[in-house]
């Protein structure tokens, strides 16, 4: 019997629960909701976004599988309820089916007035689970990249990022940077690779395997979006172990929400909404609340934010909606949305 879990952007339908030793089956129902700054559901919806993300994600998973990269993807659910591959789809779909693994949240406790997390559940013998890390690949450092803020605040050093000079906004990197952060804590925090390995109980060879998969995922997305004349600036990847403790790509990859793409220097991603919100009082309070919660050991930083996020301006919301659908058409090479070309839509952002 299926049960549903609502997320801020997509809903999870559990068709078959995973056990300790066997994977289950889940379905993502991609919605038109959106989220910025880890806030959760924002006050309005972006038409067509859910289906566009679903199709881009499915297309990317299928390209990864062609290259021999294991993923949790099983297929798309069409309008007749059948499980199909992307090429078999006649109309757009917002439902993706995948192998479901266990999610083990680290235990939260307060020590010295600060939140701490116990990761002792993660051992080298554990299998069939989501690795509790979010990994970010960076091919460039566009304006707005968190790297600049972290460098300014002394939270990261140039050598930690493999850089031999202070970067400029818009700079392309000779080789990609891989950043890693926590995934299942109240507020994500960046880790060193050594810390990440210690928390998750990964062996040295598994850690090497993670980095090899990341390189392939990054290369695949770069090739995939180049067909739409997009540049793959950065993106996030989540990984899991299957029931035989083999590495696989999980959640969703290669979409406008998971990645930051640019078209002739213009953002083609959720970054457009982030830019709009960064100018608001709400965003300032979010930043302060996260810092305060960290210092005072407050579990839910959202309670410290006194104002609600405003809605997007109508014209901007329409353009973002069109951008998602046009990007899906052009990245996948299949016109499932009746929308102008991406080049035409992007001209309106100038």
- CA dihedral (288, 290, 294, 298) positive or negative: positive
pLDDT of the chain along its 350 residues, tens only? 455 566 678 999 999 999 999 999 999 999 999 999 989 899 999 999 999 999 999 999 999 999 999 999 999 999 999 999 999 999 999 999 999 999 999 999 888 888 899 999 999 999 999 999 999 999 988 777 888 988 988 888 888 787 888 988 888 898 899 999 999 998 788 898 999 999 999 999 999 999 999 999 999 999 999 999 999 999 999 999 999 999 999 999 999 999 999 999 899 988 899 999 999 999 999 999 998 988 888 878 999 999 999 999 999 999 999 999 999 999 999 999 999 999 999 998 76
CATH homologous superfamily for the domain 3-347: ATP-grasp fold, B domain (3.30.470.20)
State if pTM tops 0.85.
Answer: yes
Pairing of strands 73-77, 114-118: unpaired
| Interatomic CA distance for residues 345 and 322, integer angstroms | 7
Instruction: Give the gyration radius of the chain's Cα atoms.
Output: 20
Q: Which whole-number Å values give the CA distances from 225 to 66, 180, 290, in the listed order?
A: 16, 23, 34
């Amino acid at each position: 019997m299926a049960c549903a879990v609502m997320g801020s952007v997509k809903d999870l339908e559990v068709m078959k629960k995973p056990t300790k030793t066997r994977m289950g089956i889940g379905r993502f129902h991609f919605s038109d909701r959106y989220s910025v700054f880890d806030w959760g559901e924002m006050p309005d919806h972006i038409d067509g976004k859910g289906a566009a993300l679903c199709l881009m994600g499915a297309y990317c998973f299928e390209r990864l599988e062609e290259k021999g990269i294991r993923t949790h993807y099983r297929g798309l659910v069409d309008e007749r309820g059948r499980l199909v591959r992307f090429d078999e789809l006649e109309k757009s779909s917002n439902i993706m089916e995948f192998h479901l693994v266990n999610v083990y949240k680290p235990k939260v406790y307060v020590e010295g007035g600060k939140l701490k997390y116990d990761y002792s559940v993660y051992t080298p013998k554990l299998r069939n689970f989501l690795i509790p890390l979010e990994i970010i690949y960076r091919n460039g450092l566009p304006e707005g990249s968190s790297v600049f803020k972290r460098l300014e605040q002394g939270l990261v050093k140039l050598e930690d990022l493999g850089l031999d000079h202070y970067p400029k906004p818009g700079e392309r990197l000779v080789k990609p940077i891989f950043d890693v952060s926590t995934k299942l804590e109240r507020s994500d925090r960046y880790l060193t690779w050594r810390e990440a390995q210690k928390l998750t109980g990964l062996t040295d060879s598994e850690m090497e395997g993670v980095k090899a998969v990341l390189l392939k995922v990054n290369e695949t997305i770069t090739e995939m979006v180049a067909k739409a004349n997009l540049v793959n600036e950065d993106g996030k990847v989540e990984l899991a172990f299957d029931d035989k403790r083999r590495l696989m790509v999980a959640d969703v990859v290669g979409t406008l929400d998971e990645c930051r793409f640019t078209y002739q220097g213009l953002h083609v991603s959720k970054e457009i909404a982030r830019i709009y919100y960064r100018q608001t009082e709400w965003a300032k309070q979010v930043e302060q609340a996260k810092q305060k919660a960290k210092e005072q050991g407050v579990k839910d930083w959202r309670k410290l934010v006194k104002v609600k996020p405003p809605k997007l301006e109508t014209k901007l919301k329409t353009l973002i909606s069109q951008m998602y659908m046009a990007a899906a058409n052009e990245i996948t090479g299949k016109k499932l949305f009746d929308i102008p070309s991406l080049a035409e839509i992007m001209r309106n952002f100038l």
